[in-house]
């Protein structure tokens, strides 16, 4: 495994070799006075025009569980060709290779690519609403691996199971796994905040009247120093496996971020803001170690998200540490916000797409936490996501078309 410095030197050497070869071709062409047609992109009327390297573009994606033909066709209809899938667990909490392959084959039969899998590392997938000192748990499920952030004999056995999943993903050709290490899942104080067109959204207000002890950590009290030690222990064991399998592990920040001085259930929020995620990435230098850059979550921890978020995105994207993007929007910011439609909030979504384009990001951008409406069939906000898919697809097309116009002018 090459170190970061070795990788950098190798990349630099490759670029110098490529540059040398291009210069030789240029001089040879000038000497011969060759004239090629415009169609081949090399020489026109005796002038040299070097071919432009075609790079991969980012794409609209979805993290909704598309487990059948109807849902896959729903995505395909709305221009979504790339998704994250959620493999079912066996009774002994494993991924079955044949099941993962069948998910991929089923998606491909409808023209959809599985680019990412949900990796059940620590999250309990719980959504908690706090109101008047009481908590209401929705979308509840217990943690799949309740010991990975605890000091216990079971911890290594559970981490081994997660490493098996990494290997299966690599064998199946899925390049990325999404996860989070938050022992407290998605706190909100309202789930019925009115937004446009009779839709309703979720909201958070830290000043609302409730007891922080109402919220429990899935892994017991975790002060900051102890939390960092347990995360480091986890990364030390999973990242070598991910590197061997050529898998990227994309971590989602804690949602919502709250001040380090505030403890929920005795647990510190160490991975909610930019500095915490910088420290997280610095724990291990690995090409497999990166982030889900959730625009909404990072904005929720900023005093001035409109101006702070672009700088944070550039910081991580320029380092190649953005593996996946959630593009949700909010009104408000630190400690008090309402989630809303992507075109209706403090985040300039087109600026986000432009930054990702300029930094060479080629992964998925997915709409996230969209408002619901009573006309939606079932509990999923089907209408809002259809709108979100189209909106993001238009932003991405506009960004790359803008780049083409600039290239033609220059």
Of the candidates 93, 79, 244, 226, the residue with the CA atom closest to the CA atom of residue 161: 93
Q: Is 56 helix (H, G, I), strand (E, B) or coil?
A: coil
DSSP H helical ranges for 263-362 = 274-282, 295-300, 305-318, 349-358
Residue 263 has pLDDT above 90, yes or no: no
DSSP 8-class letter at 87: P
Helix (H) or strand (E) holding 18: helix 4-32
Residue 4 has pLDDT above 80, yes or no: no
Phi and psi torsions of 14, nearest 5°: -60, -45
Name which residue leads in pLDDT, 302 or 143.
302
pLDDT band with cut points at 50, 70 and 90 for residue 132 = very low
Residue 303: CB atoms within 10 Å: 9
Using the Cα atoms of residue 171, residue 172, residue 173 and residue 174 in order, give the sign of their dihedral: negative
CA distance 182 to 258: 13
Tens of pLDDT, residue by residue over 157-208, are 999 999 999 999 999 999 999 999 987 778 888 899 999 999 999 999 988 7
Give the start-to-end residue ranges of the domains of the chain. 16-51, 54-409
Residue 219 has pLDDT above 90, yes or no: no
Contacts of range 20-26, beta carbons closer than 8 Å, 24 or more positions apart: 22/50, 26/50
Residue 89 has pLDDT above 70, yes or no: yes
Residue 48 has pLDDT above 80, yes or no: no
Name which residue leads in pLDDT, 269 or 216.
269
CA distance 32 to 14: 27
Q: Is 365 helix (H, G, I), strand (E, B) or coil?
A: strand
Tens of pLDDT, residue by residue over 56-71, are 899 999 998 888 999 9
Joined together, the tokens standing for residue 193 give: 């905040």
Which pLDDT value is given to residue 67? Answer: 84
Name which residue leads in pLDDT, 243 or 191.
243
Of the candidates 399, 250, 396, the residue with the CA atom closest to the CA atom of residue 322: 250
Q: What is the 3-state secondary structure (H, E, C) of 148-172?
A: CCCCCCHHHHHHHHHHHHHHHHHHH
Name which residue leads in pLDDT, 40 or 229.
229
Which pLDDT value is given to residue 9? Answer: 36
* 98-107, 207-216, 299-308, 369-378: segment of lowest average pLDDT: 207-216
Which pLDDT value is given to residue 256? Answer: 87
Most confidently modeled range among 32-36, 46-50, 175-179, 402-406 = 175-179
- What average pLDDT is seen over the chain? 83
DSSP H helical ranges for 86-125 = 97-109
Helix crossing, 154-172 with 97-109: angle to 10°? 40
Which pLDDT value is given to residue 259? Answer: 73
Tokens 């997660």 sit at which residue? 162
Residue 126 has pLDDT above 50, yes or no: no
Q: Are 85 and 118 in contact (CB under 8 A)?
A: yes
Residue 312 has pLDDT above 90, yes or no: yes
Tens of pLDDT, residue by residue over 265-298, are 778 889 889 999 999 999 999 999 999 999 999 9
Q: DSSP letter string over 161-224?
A: HHHHHHHHHHHHT--EEEE---SS--EESEEEEE-GGG-EEEEEETTSS--GGGS--TT--B-H
Of the candidates 374, 368, 376, 312, the residue with the CA atom closest to the CA atom of residue 342: 368
Interacting residues of 191 by C-beta distance below 8 A, sequence separation 6+ = 129, 138, 200, 202, 203
CA distance 90 to 357: 39
Tens of pLDDT, residue by residue over 342-399, are 999 999 999 999 999 999 999 999 999 999 999 988 888 999 999 999 999 999 999 9
Using the Cα atoms of residue 15, residue 17, residue 18 and residue 19 in order, give the sign of their dihedral: positive
CA distance 257 to 230: 20
- Under CATH, domain 54-409 is a member of which superfamily? Divalent-metal-dependent TIM barrel enzymes (3.20.20.150)
Q: Are 124 and 118 in contact (CB under 8 A)?
A: no
């Amino acid at each position: 495994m090459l170190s970061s410095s070795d990788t950098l030197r190798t990349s630099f050497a490759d670029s110098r070799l490529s540059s040398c070869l291009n210069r030789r071709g240029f001089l040879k062409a000038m000497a011969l006075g060759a004239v090629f047609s415009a169609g081949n992109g090399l020489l026109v009327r005796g002038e040299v025009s070097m071919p432009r390297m075609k790079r991969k573009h980012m794409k609209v994606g979805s993290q909704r569980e598309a487990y059948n033909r109807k849902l896959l066709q729903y995505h395909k209809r709305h221009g979504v060709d790339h998704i994250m899938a959620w493999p079912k667990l066996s009774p002994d909490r494993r991924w079955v290779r044949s099941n993962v392959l069948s998910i991929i084959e089923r998606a491909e039969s409808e023209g959809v690519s599985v680019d990412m899998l949900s990796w059940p590392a620590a999250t309990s997938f719980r959504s908690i609403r706090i109101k008047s000192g009481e908590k209401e748990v929705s979308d509840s499920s217990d943690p799949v691996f309740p010991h990975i952030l605890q000091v216990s004999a079971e911890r290594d056995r559970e981490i081994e199971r997660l490493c098996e999943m990494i290997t299966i993903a690599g064998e199946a050709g899925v390049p990325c796994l999404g996860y989070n290490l938050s022992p407290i899942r998605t706190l909100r104080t309202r789930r019925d905040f009115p937004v446009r067109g009779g839709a309703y959204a979720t909201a958070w207000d830290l000043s609302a009247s409730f007891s922080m002890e109402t919220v429990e950590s899935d892994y017991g009290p975790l002060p900051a120093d102890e939390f960092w030690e347990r995360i480091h222990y986890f990364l030390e064991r999973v990242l070598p496996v991910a590197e061997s399998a050529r898998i990227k592990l994309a971590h989602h920040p804690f949602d919502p971020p709250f001040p380090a001085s505030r403890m929920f259930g005795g647990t510190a929020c160490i991975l909610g803001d930019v500095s915490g995620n910088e420290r997280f990435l610095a724990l291990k230098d690995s090409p497999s170690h990166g982030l889900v850059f959730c625009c909404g979550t990072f904005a929720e921890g900023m005093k001035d998200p409109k101006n702070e978020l672009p700088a944070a995105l550039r910081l991580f994207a320029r380092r190649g540490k953005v593996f996946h993007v959630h593009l949700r929007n909010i009104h408000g910011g630190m400690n008090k916000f309402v989630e809303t439609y992507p075109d209706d909030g403090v985040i300039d979504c087109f600026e986000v797409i432009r930054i990702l384009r300029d930094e060479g990001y080629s992964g998925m951008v997915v709409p996230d936490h969209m408002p619901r409406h009573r006309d939606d069939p079932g509990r999923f906000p089907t209408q809002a996501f259809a709108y979100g898919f189209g909106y993001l697809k238009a932003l991405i097309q506009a960004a790359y078309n803008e780049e083409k116009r600039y290239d033609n002018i220059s």
